[in-house]
């Protein structure tokens, strides 16, 4: 590992994770704990999630209903609502209550998936994508106008469900998610000339577009059960760190997995003009990438050359290392809660983020 790369990685990890921890191992902290399967523990609470979302999206106009139901077919990974459900139950136990979900907490799990899916619908329009989750995108089948309206309608239904929870603080916290999604999308349209500013820009964008939803959803379920700001911060920091790690791994998979595994074309980010972690790290070893990044890989042959530079560099390795650091911090945060099966399932889920292949 090059000293310069290690220094840069550590610098930005400390800045964006909220920790100065130097350890990067996830498993070793809990080698003596039999960690629970998060999918099994959350299955009961998630079983009717998509059915309830489809009820929220009930409309008389058949075409709009079909558009909105298209991605809520129960075949997604449901990672975000799973994290929210497990966090809620862990927090309930930590707060001397039963582990059962409060109605508002379950609503937040549902809302998180609705906001996430609406953002995907809009992202596909912006990116001109034709594949999502192994399916043809809404914009490809029905056109951009109807796709935008479908995304808007899903967001409006999520907003109505949020209002019914009846907690102003929760409304404020989850409204921040929508603002962050928009700001993150604007950040993705730009780049920075300076190397350090560019990496800071990338991590801020990653938080706003991906991690903010998980972090603020976790914080929202904590607000409903516990008045302690320190507990709210634990929930937020867990979601923030695991969310950033999830996206870092996603950026790695764009270089290491085939289209069949990802459900979208590989090298998709390069083709969209996006410089993600592997490219930014590779730029330290291959300065030729700098000009390509600034012109967003728009010249003929840029995508192929950038791909080769990344594969010849340690960009993938360094991005994976950074993801491990964020996972380590997520585990450190969630371990501050009282022991429970749900807390341990969140630890297991964090470790699974690093080993996923799609």
- Residue 283 belongs to domain with CATH number: 1.10.600.10
Residue 7 in any domain: the answer is: no
**DSSP collapsed to 3 states, the chain:** CCHHHHHHHHHHHHHHHCCCCCCCCCHHHHCCCCCCCHHHHHHHHHCCHHHHHHHHCCCCCHHHHHHHHCCCCCCCCCHHHHHHHHHHHHHHHHCCCCCCCCHHHHHHHHHHHHHHHHHHHHHHHHHCCCEECCEECHHHHHCHHHHHHHHHHHHHHHHHHHHHHCCHHHHHHHHHHHHHHHHHHHHHCCCCCCHHHHHHHHHHHHHHHHHHHHHHHHHHHHHCCCCCHHHHHHHHHHHHHHHHHHHHHHHHHHHHCCHHHHCCCCCHHHHCCCCCHHHHHHHHHCCCHHHHHHCCCCCCCHHHHHHHHHHHCCHHHHHHHHHHHHHHHHHHHHCCCCCCHHHHHHHHHHHHHHHCCC
Mean pLDDT of the chain: 87
User: pLDDT digits over 259-318, tens only?
Assistant: 455 555 577 899 999 999 999 999 999 999 999 999 999 999 999 999 999 999 999 999
Question: What pLDDT is stored for residue 89 in this prediction?
Answer: 95
Residue 252 in any domain: the answer is: yes
pLDDT band at 28 (very low <50, low <70, confident <90, very high): very low
Residue 17 in any domain: the answer is: no
Residue 165 in any domain: the answer is: yes
Residue 177 in any domain: the answer is: yes
pTM of the model: 0.88
Which residue range is the domain that position 126 belongs to? 38-355
- Give the count of domains, the chain: 1
Residue 28 in any domain: the answer is: no
Residue 168 in any domain: the answer is: yes
Residue 164 in any domain: the answer is: yes
């Amino acid at each position: 590992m090059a000293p310069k790369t290690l220094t840069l990685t550590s610098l930005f990890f400390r800045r964006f994770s909220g920790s100065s921890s130097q350890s990067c191992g996830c498993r070793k902290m809990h080698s003596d704990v039999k960690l629970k399967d998060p999918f099994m523990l959350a299955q009961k609470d998630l079983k009717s999630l998509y059915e309830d979302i489809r009820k929220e999206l009930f409309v008389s106009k058949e075409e709009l209903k079909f558009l909105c139901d298209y991605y809520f077919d129960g075949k997604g990974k449901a990672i975000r609502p799973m994290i929210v459900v497990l966090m809620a139950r862990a927090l309930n136990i930590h707060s001397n209550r039963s582990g059962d979900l409060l109605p508002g907490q379950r609503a937040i799990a549902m809302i998180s998936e609705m906001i996430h899916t609406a953002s995907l619908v809009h992202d596909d329009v912006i990116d001109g994508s034709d594949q999502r989750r192994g399916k043809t995108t809404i914009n490809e089948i029905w056109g951009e106008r109807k796709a935008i309206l479908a995304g808007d309608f899903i967001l409006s239904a999520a907003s109505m469900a949020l209002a019914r929870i009846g907690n102003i603080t929760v409304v404020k916290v989850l409204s921040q998610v929508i603002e962050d999604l928009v700001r993150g999308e604007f950040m993705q349209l730009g780049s920075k000339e300076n190397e350090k500013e560019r990496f800071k820009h990338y991590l801020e964008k990653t938080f706003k577009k991906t991690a903010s939803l998980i972090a603020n959803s976790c914080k929202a379920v904590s607000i409903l059960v516990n008045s302690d700001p320190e507990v709210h911060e634990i929930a937020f920091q867990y979601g923030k760190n695991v969310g950033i790690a999830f996206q870092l791994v996603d950026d790695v998979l764009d270089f290491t997995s085939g289209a069949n595994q990802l459900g979208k074309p590989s090298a998709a980010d390069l083709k969209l003009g996006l410089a993600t972690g592997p490219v930014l790290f590779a730029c330290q070893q291959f300065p030729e990438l700098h000009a390509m990044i600034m012109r967003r890989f728009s010249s003929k042959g840029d995508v192929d050359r950038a791909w080769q530079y990344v594969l010849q560099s340690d960009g993938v390795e360094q991005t994976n290392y950074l993801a491990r650091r964020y996972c380590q911090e997520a585990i450190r945060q969630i371990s501050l809660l009282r022991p429970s099966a749900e807390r341990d399932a969140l630890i297991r889920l964090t470790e699974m983020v690093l080993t996923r292949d799609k």
